Structure 1
Amino acid sequence: MPATSQPSPRHRRTLRLVAAAAALATAGALAAAYPAGAHESRGHGHHGPSRYQDVQLLSFNDLHGNLEPPAGSSGRVTELQPDGTTKTIDAGGVEYLATHLREARKGEKYSITAAGGDMVGASPLISGLFHDEPTIEALNKLDLDVTSVGNHEFDEGAKELARLQNGGCHPTDGCYTDKKFQGADFPYLAANVLDEKTNRPILKPYWVWRKKDVKVGFIGVTLEDTPGVVSAEGVKGLKFKDEVETINKYARVLQAQGVKSIVALIHEGGFPASGAYNYDCDSAGAGSGVSGPIVDIAKNITPAVDALVTGHTHNAYVCTIPDPSGKPRMVTSAASFGRLYTDTTLTYDRRTGDIARTAVKSANHVVTRTVAKAPDMTALIGKWNTLAAPIGNRAIGYISADVPSTGTESPMGDLIADAQLAYGKELDPETDLALMNPGGVRAGLTYAASGSEGDGVVTYAEGFTVQPFSNTVNLQDFTGAQLVQVLKEQVSGANESSPKVLQPSSGLTYTLDLTKTGADRVVTDSIRLNGAAIDPAATYRVATNSFLAGGGDGFTTLGQGTNDLVGTDDLTALEQYLTANSSASSPMPPPAADRISIMR
């Protein structure tokens, strides 16, 4: 599927004009900033463009519709201090992100803004209630140039993704305002997502940014395992191809068109050695400070690609990882929820049309909340909040303290599992337990008041932020042997290198021995339900959400249950549980998160 190499009318907008390389004051500074010989094409009375041109690449990833500042730990970043200590900084919010990006672009004649996927999906109420139209509008105002798709772009299927790209009112909800939704001003790239019938990409596989004689190509992919982390309905009729093979294929296509400067936008990521956004990822050598899927991907992508913007893992890193030729190549990720952005300088060589990799530099920057809010974003948030307020401000429960969503076992995860168990027992009194996938717990609940609510009040909007997927609560029968296998699948098979520990309902207890590897990390003899050992031959009635019931997140055994019964959506189950078990005079305390014992 050919992609146009001509920008849209908005992309042809005039960027802010300033001198770039000429701002360097001395020949010594020039020599330090550019490859050897770069200054030679700038002297001797030559009045044309210099050989080397700095191109600013601003990037971010995994926004997930977080237009308002995220609450709690989801709205903070960790910063490493010169003395080795760390501090946390409140960060995020599109009003502040807009200000930071606009300030960063000042004085940059050549500036591109790109993203690494998951701009939408799993979004708070202000965006999710309106099928993420508000986020697309915000990204348009941010002057985003291009993004890859991520797995969450498929939460509502390919047709809805196409609507977000092309515009039009929602097929069932209609138009939310008196203006027709215009869609994204920027291209979504989906090079490795193919229509099963046509075997062609469902969206553009690549896009070329042009400014005078400078051109930079972008290839966008999502992780190949997207079907394993998205509901089956969301990826129906689609094929997801290998990231490396796809990028290498389209790098050749771009080169054949004369585009030699190439950036890959990859919705797959890694796990940094430090939780601080500003740690030195290469302190022990190139590629030393990050692990995970992105490392093997980066090592195998053709050297024709000059930089990788990544995402998915919600981590922050700026690392160099050697390409197949052994040459260091920049790989970046800006955490999530708009808390950081990455500023990368790509030095474009006009003589070769390629990036001079020895001159590439990059850093993550905090989207602090100490700057002025962007007025256009404040107006956008106000417009959509007014529409959402009648639904979002309704109280659904009360808590006595924060209910965090962090940790191997989190209080929020346990609370959701308890809610699904209670709902399951209403559907079928024989329901024994509930299991909740950790990736479905998108946030915790915050005790401190926000907006017009009081301390401890849980609003529908907050509940929606915790569980935005509209999964159903499903009941299935499993043997005891299958239940044990499910627990082992948390730390083995597809989940061995990156465990996905299910959040258990009250009554289910067991031990994880982290000194062991694979399935052996689950201590089988420790598994108890209401104090009794699991009987391998007995039948247990288990409540999960529809995503897990379909075998999602690598839990293939959960896709083999019998005697299915489909209930209401999971947020309704949570609302009913909070309403029934809390009040203003008797708020609910956070669960103790003591159902899983950890041996280290």
Structure 2
Amino acid sequence: MIRKAVLALLALPLAACATAPPAAVAPPMDGNATVTVGIVGLNDFHGNLEPVQRALPVEDETEVQAGGAAYLASAIDALRARQEHSLVISAGDLISASPLVSSLFLDEPTVGAMNRMGLDFNAVGNHEFDRGWRELVRLAEGGCAKLTLREPCAVEPDYAGAEFGFLAANVRATPAMGRGETLFPGTAIRRFGEGENAVAIGIVGLTLEGTPGLVTPQGIAGLTFADEAETINAAIPRLRGQGADAVVVAIHQGLAPDDQPDVFGCAAISGPLREILDRLDGGVDVVISGHTHRPYVCDYASVDPARPMLVTSAAWGGQMLTDIVLTIDPAQDRVVAKRARNLVVANEAGDPVEGILRPAARADIAAYVARYAEAARAAETRPVGRLAGPAREEGIESPLGNLIADAQLAATRNAGAQIALMNPGGIRGDLIPAADGTLTFGQIYTVQPFGNTLITKSLTGAQLLALLASQFGEGREVIFAGSEGFRQVLARAGDGYRFVSATLDGRPIDPDATYRVTMNSFLSTGGDGFAVFAEGKDAVTGPVDLDAIETYLDGEAVRALPATGRIVVTG
């Protein structure tokens, strides 16, 4: 599906992305000059300071190696150089779920790299809260207070924080937190030009209302996450009242293109953001979105002429950027034309191709990333064990998910564990061993970068069955990987599945029995919306998940890949 989306998007010429037909946009008043403002949009960078290892498919049988902070910086420079006035805006998940070179250092180098690139604003995403709101504030504002298991300021003792603004319009704080009404400012105004040619861009930044279901509850204690559409609609008149000629929303929520190979526009797109867009007032000009990691540029006027806004997303990991151009008539205080396109940021030489930038690496950013890469090298390259073959996270059951669940069960047997369950959202990459099967710490860290501890709890069989049933429903499908001996039976239900039954060592789960179940600390407090985990009793804290997989892989023998068949689909 993503291949089709990228193909269709890159096939569009720049003019094809204009948001509204000429008749729908008032022309400039006679004799009035217009002002052009360029906006570079990005989303879901996730600390990918080095090039993304997976090639990006751009056309049939063609893939491009893309991303890397040094190349991204040059691409941003090139796009900004085309306009006298410009902004760079991120729609969240700038940090966390990051590769080792950033995550090992609490994502300080990602903030440093973005400072050097000239990022103006980042709307908070759900992953910004992975280490808790206090650590997020430290990361934004600087300082070396130790608020996590890892040491801050390990490479830059004078870490000073972000030179760009974090925006969090719908993240409400309590007075006791000392942060004001919201954790970070919700809106901002950026002004360009002087006199009669002065224009202002208003920006609203926010995350998805469902963030509490995606992060550890303790990390957001005291915060509430308000409705996205209501928050945006309340901000629009305030920004207009402050003189904003255009309103840009950066929201960490996204669309999901339908699987239609010959259609790639808003009419072919669904997803949580669609419902939000349909509730917005008509004063929004651009929505820079994220979260779903999909690339798209949509003319929402084709869906609803009353909402002629551009809706964009640039995939993930810095592999793409969105080039947005607004033409503003300062006499009318409004946008009179707008266009956008997504551009691949290639990091390899090649023939010129429409929609693909091939910038040179920017030397200062490359040196900065290399400094952190060198600091991480000893940890990254340390061998941790051997695996019989590649383990990828794909489909409803994968050897990688099973491997992690088995490792977690083995690590918590001394707590009485009988079953281990692993959420797919906690698996952030693949394990591809060297020719002799060797895996490094850097590889397993990339797969499990969150530093969760393992928790073993007692659940009744009835609770366990209710938990498994809650994997599906209300547009949700989160299928756990289960440890050896545990088996789920699912049935097809429309385009998805429903839970039917489960067994342990061949025996049906008994609703009246008690089972010792291991989960990570994120799930243990109800993460991912699985409240049943929080109901467990007699909790025992085990090792960090990363230590569990390292221990499981360690040894002279090559660890075999677990067989699949723990999830059976009927019907």
Deviations 1:65-118 (CA, angstroms, capped at 9, x unpaired): 1111223xxx33333x4xxx4644332222222222222233222221100001
CA distance in 2, matches of 1:60, 1:308: 12
Deviations 1:191-231 (CA, angstroms, capped at 9, x unpaired): 11111236701111111122211211111011111111100
AA matched with 2:421: L
Q: Does 1:256 align with 2:241?
A: yes
Which range is displaced more, 171-180 or 293-302? 171-180
Contact 1:300/1:324 (CA < 8 Å) preserved in 2? no
Contact 1:549/1:559 (CA < 8 Å) preserved in 2? yes
Q: CA deviation at 1:403?
A: 1.3
Q: Does 1:289 align with 2:274?
A: no
**What is the root-mean-square deviation in Å for CA atoms of aligned residues?**
2.6
CA distance in 1, matches of 2:268, 2:25: 29
Name the residue aligned to 1:10.
none
Distance change in 2, residues 1:298/1:523 (3 Å): same
Match among 365, 369, 379 for residue 381 of structure 1: 369
Name the residue aligned to 1:122.
97
Deviations 1:154-198 (CA, angstroms, capped at 9, x unpaired): 112222212222112243635324641121111000111111236
Contact 1:195/1:238 (CA < 8 Å) preserved in 2? yes
1:421-500 residue pairs with structure 2 within 5 A? 421-425=409-413, 427-428=414-415, 430-448=416-434, 456-492=437-473, 496-500=474-478
Which range is displaced more, 395-404 or 180-189? 395-404
Contact 1:244/1:300 (CA < 8 Å) preserved in 2? yes
Match among 264, 268, 272 for residue 253 of structure 2: 268
Q: CA deviation at 1:434?
A: 0.5
Contact 2:403/2:562 (CA < 8 Å) preserved in 1? yes
Name the residue aligned to 1:226.
211
Q: CA deviation at 1:298?
A: 0.8
Q: Does 1:76 align with 2:62?
A: no
Deviations 1:278-298 (CA, angstroms, capped at 9, x unpaired): x7522xxxx322111100101
Q: Does 1:595 align with 2:558?
A: no
AA matched with 2:372: W
Give me the TM-score of the superposition, normalised by structure 2: 0.87
Deviations 1:508-548 (CA, angstroms, capped at 9, x unpaired): 22232223588x71122xx2222222112111111100111
CA distance in 2, matches of 1:381, 1:220: 28
Contact 1:192/1:222 (CA < 8 Å) preserved in 2? yes
Contact 2:411/2:543 (CA < 8 Å) preserved in 1? no
Name the residue aligned to 2:191.
210
AA matched with 2:569: I
Deviations 1:352-398 (CA, angstroms, capped at 9, x unpaired): 22222xx3222222121214222122211211122222222211112
Q: CA deviation at 1:575?
A: 0.8
Distance change in 2, residues 1:343/1:257 (3 Å): same
Contact 1:197/1:237 (CA < 8 Å) preserved in 2? no
Q: CA deviation at 1:457?
A: 2.2
Name the residue aligned to 1:331.
311
Name the residue aligned to 1:8.
none
Name the residue aligned to 2:403.
415
Name the residue aligned to 1:27.
none
Deviations 1:29-86 (CA, angstroms, capped at 9, x unpaired): xx998987847746xxxxxxx5333322111111111111223xxx33333x4xxx46
Contact 1:120/1:132 (CA < 8 Å) preserved in 2? yes
CA distance in 1, matches of 2:93, 2:25: 39
Deviations 1:419-475 (CA, angstroms, capped at 9, x unpaired): 1011111x23x3211101111101111235xxxxx7632111211111111111000
Distance change in 2, residues 1:288/1:39 (3 Å): closer
CA distance in 2, matches of 1:171, 1:573: 24
AA matched with 1:460: F
CA distance in 2, matches of 1:475, 1:275: 44
Name the residue aligned to 1:57.
39
CA distance in 2, matches of 1:99, 1:410: 38
Contact 1:316/1:334 (CA < 8 Å) preserved in 2? yes
CA distance in 2, matches of 1:159, 1:320: 38
Name the residue aligned to 1:4.
none
Contact 1:275/1:316 (CA < 8 Å) preserved in 2? no
AA matched with 2:161: G
Contact 1:489/1:554 (CA < 8 Å) preserved in 2? no
Contact 1:474/1:566 (CA < 8 Å) preserved in 2? yes
The 3-state SS of whatever aligns with 1:412 is helix
Distance change in 2, residues 1:186/1:510 (3 Å): same
The 3-state SS of whatever aligns with 2:466 is helix
Match among 488, 504, 515 for residue 493 of structure 2: 515
1:6-45 residue pairs with structure 2 within 5 A? 38=27, 41=30
Q: CA deviation at 1:149?
A: 0.5
Deviations 1:115-154 (CA, angstroms, capped at 9, x unpaired): 0001011212111111110000111112111110011111
Distance change in 2, residues 1:471/1:326 (3 Å): same
Contact 1:299/1:321 (CA < 8 Å) preserved in 2? no
AA matched with 1:273: D
CA distance in 2, matches of 1:164, 1:103: 28
Name the residue aligned to 2:119.
144
Which range is displaced more, 392-401 or 548-557? 392-401
The 3-state SS of whatever aligns with 1:119 is coil
AA matched with 1:305: V
Match among 302, 310, 318 for residue 289 of structure 2: 310
Name the residue aligned to 1:345.
325
Contact 1:154/1:235 (CA < 8 Å) preserved in 2? yes
The 3-state SS of whatever aligns with 2:477 is coil
CA distance in 2, matches of 1:352, 1:161: 40
Match among 319, 323, 327 for residue 298 of structure 2: 319
Contact 1:264/1:305 (CA < 8 Å) preserved in 2? yes
Which one has more relative contact order, counting CA pairs under 8 Å at least 6 apart?
2
Structure 2 gaps, min length 5: 1-19, 349-357
Name the residue aligned to 2:280.
301
Contact 2:385/2:550 (CA < 8 Å) preserved in 1? yes
AA matched with 1:456: G
Structure 1 gaps, min length 5: 1-30, 43-49, 449-453
Contact 1:289/1:319 (CA < 8 Å) preserved in 2? no
CA distance in 2, matches of 1:593, 1:269: 32
Contact 2:34/2:327 (CA < 8 Å) preserved in 1? yes
1:60-209 residue pairs with structure 2 within 5 A? 60-71=42-53, 75-79=54-58, 81=59, 85=60, 87-171=62-146, 173-177=151-155, 179-197=157-175, 200-209=181-190
Match among 298, 311, 334 for residue 354 of structure 1: 334
Give me the TM-score of the superposition, normalised by structure 1: 0.83
AA matched with 1:332: T
Contact 1:395/1:457 (CA < 8 Å) preserved in 2? yes
The 3-state SS of whatever aligns with 1:328 is coil
CA distance in 2, matches of 1:32, 1:243: 28
Distance change in 2, residues 1:466/1:306 (3 Å): same
